[in-house]
Structures are given as structure tokens and as C-alpha cells.
Amino acid sequence: MRVIVVGGGVVGTMHAWQAVQRGHEVVQIEREAEARGASLRNFGQIWVSGRAGGEELDTALRARELWERIGAEVPGLGFRAIGSLTPVRNAREYAVAEAAAARPDAAARGYELVTAEEARAVNPALRGAFEAALWCERDAAVEPRTAQLHLREALRASGRYTFLPGREVRDLAGPAAVRDDHGQVHRGDAVVLATGAWLSGLVRELAPELPVRRVRLQMMQTAPLGEPLTTSVADADSFRYYPAYRSDALDVLNAEQAQTPVAAAHKMQLLMVQRQDGGLTIGDTHEYEHPFAFDTLEDPYDHLTEVVESFLGRPLPKIRHRWAGVYAQCTDTSRVVHRQQVGEGVWLVTGPGGRGMTCSPAIAETTANELGW
């Protein structure tokens, strides 16, 4: 087969990977010189721990398996099976972690409730004050800013892959065919539109009632920490935002322990991952109402800095980068992704939300299976 993939982010690139792995020829088209959206502006976490039970968890676990397999083939991805720790500081937070560790699917996630001493044995950089931590062995990390570059290098080596940057697909040009803004028509046996948060233009024309919304977030990255942060780290505010933690204990936490005003106003949680250069990627906020602001706000960064320093027991290194990003999320947040046929031989795959980096290999595998590649 000849597969046309529109979109150079991680979801599109994983579709290209699946097609090439199955023996097909792929042309991947990206409107920028390189992907610049949420595929780069994220933590690089392969985040199993907070996923809803059922399809979402199954997808994340399958994706985790695929990431490890692909990482062995493409070392430049920087795949690291580092796990995660979520420190807790009081009885209410401990009760939520305890309820999570008692889930029927806790073993599949690699959940374990550990003491503060056990957590520091796993991650010695956590010298701050906390009582215990929820450990998730199945979480992992890759390098988001360079993952697509290294995947494309491996794809080119197949001899069946072409990357066409700087071209925006404007319309369909017949069955399984698209026309770009250079006037060139690209014909194949299947077209996958993996356009991320770009929901206007052709996407709006093909799917005007798309059940997907855009979400904006703020993040930052530091200079090297100077020591290993051997796991990713979350805080107890993440319990409020991930479906795996829903429980009576979480209801008590929400009722009796409010977030700080800044965290509540910006719908915040702490997630933190160390990059291969030693710097820390730290976030994040969530904004759902359009139009989004064009600037970033300092109060959320101050809040994140305070939380991180309290866990590390030391000052945070200098902040080198701050940014905002936008991703596409299904309005029915229980759905992993929106997959829709929008023309003869043309499918739109969008809306994984914050699950895109984690779940993209399994999302692409499901597309390939459903389309009979």
C-alpha cells in the first residue's frame, strides 16, 4: 500500500511508523518545517499511572510496550523506564494513594504505596518533607523535542518513506488523495489526517461538528539539576485530574483540602521529568475557554517552583525556557481518541488530549488494524 500521513507530530509519525513496519510506502506531509505543536511541548512522559481503567489503561499499557520496543530500535528516542513517584504529605492525600494502590488493576500499573524512606531510596533527589509516596513502576519517558527527528531517520532508512515539510494540505483530490498548497496531488491507498490541534481549514470543512476541543497549558524547563532525578514526579494535585484516582477518599480530599488559589484558578498539577541534558521539564496548567491568552502568566510558574523546591529540599536551577502549548482533546474525555472517516479512503485521527505522547503508538496500531493495513 501507499499511505499518506498528514501531520508531522507524534501521532502522525507513529502512523507512519506502523505503515512502514507493515511493509507499506509512506509519504508524510507537515505544514511547518518541523512539527512545533504539543508533540514537542510536553513532558515526554509515557504516563500509565493516572489513566482510567478499561480501554484507556489498555491503550496506555500497549503503548508503553510499543514505546519500549521502538526505543530499542531507535536509541535516539531516549526511552527510559524510570517509573514515577507521587509524594503525599498528610492523611487525606495518603488515603487517595492508598485507594489507588488497592485498585483491581493496581498490579498492571505497577502501583505500590511506599514510605518516604523507600521513595528516597528510589529517587535520592527527593530530600524535602513528605510522608509517603505512590510509586508507579510502569511509567517511562522519552525526549519529546527530538523523538520525531529520530523516528524519521529510522523511517528513511527503510527506503519506503518520504517526508515533505513546509506543505499545507488544502483539500481532498479524489479517493485517498490530497492536494497541498504547492498544487501537488498526493495519491495513495489511504490518507490519515493527524493534524493535532489544527482544527480549522480542511479539518473544519471535513468535520464541522468535530467533538474535540483545544486545551492550552503552560510549562517550563530548567538548567541541569546537577544530579539525577531518577523518576518522574507528580504532586497530590494530580489526584484531582486523573481518572485512576477517583474514589471516596478523593471526594474527601476535594471537600476538605482545597488547592491553593493559584493552582485552582489555573487547574494545576505538578508533573516533572528530567531531560537527558539534566534539565527538568515542569508543568502544568489547563485553560479550556477560547480565546486563549497570547502571553504566559508568572503566578503558575511561582507556584510550581515552590512545590518542586519543597520536594527537592533545595532551590530550583535557573529557568531557561517557558512556553505555552495547545493540544486537542475529545470533549467526551473518556474517549482515548476521535477516529472518523471524512472522505473516501481518508480518516481523521485527533483529540487524544494529554494522552497523545503516551498513547500514540497504540493509537496508530489500532488505526492500522482497523483499516486492514
Listed in order, strand segments (DSSP E) in 137-211 are 140-141, 161-165, 169-172, 177-180, 185-187, 190-193
* C-alpha cell, 302: 511561582
Give the pLDDT confidence score for residue 290 in this predicted structure.
87
Domains of the chain: 1-54+140-211+334-373 (3.50.50.60), 84-137+212-330 (3.30.9.10)
Give the pLDDT confidence score for residue 247 in this predicted structure.
98
Listed as ranges, residues in the chain with pLDDT below 50 are none
119 and 83 Cβ atoms separated by less than 8 Å:
no
Give the pLDDT confidence score for residue 361 in this predicted structure.
98
Q: 368 pairs with which residues across the strands?
A: none
Indicate the SS3 state at residue 2: strand
pTM over 0.85: yes
- Three-state SS string over 33-44 comes to CCCCCCCCCCCC
- Residue 284: asked if its preceding bond is cis (omega within 30°), the reply is yes
Q: What is the DSSP letter of 45?
A: E
Give the amino acid at 77: L
Indicate the SS3 state at residue 135: strand
Q: How far apart are CA 272 and CA 42, in angstroms?
A: 10
Give the amino acid at 324: A
Give the pLDDT confidence score for residue 36 in this predicted structure.
87
From 151, 43, 135, select the one nearest 98 (Cα to Cα): 135
25 and 1 Cβ atoms separated by less than 8 Å:
yes
Q: How far apart are CA 99 and CA 103, in angstroms?
A: 7
Give the pLDDT confidence score for residue 98 in this predicted structure.
98
| Cβ-proximal residues to 335 (8 Å cutoff; 6+ apart), any chain | 351
- Count of C-beta atoms within a 10 Å radius of residue 156: 13
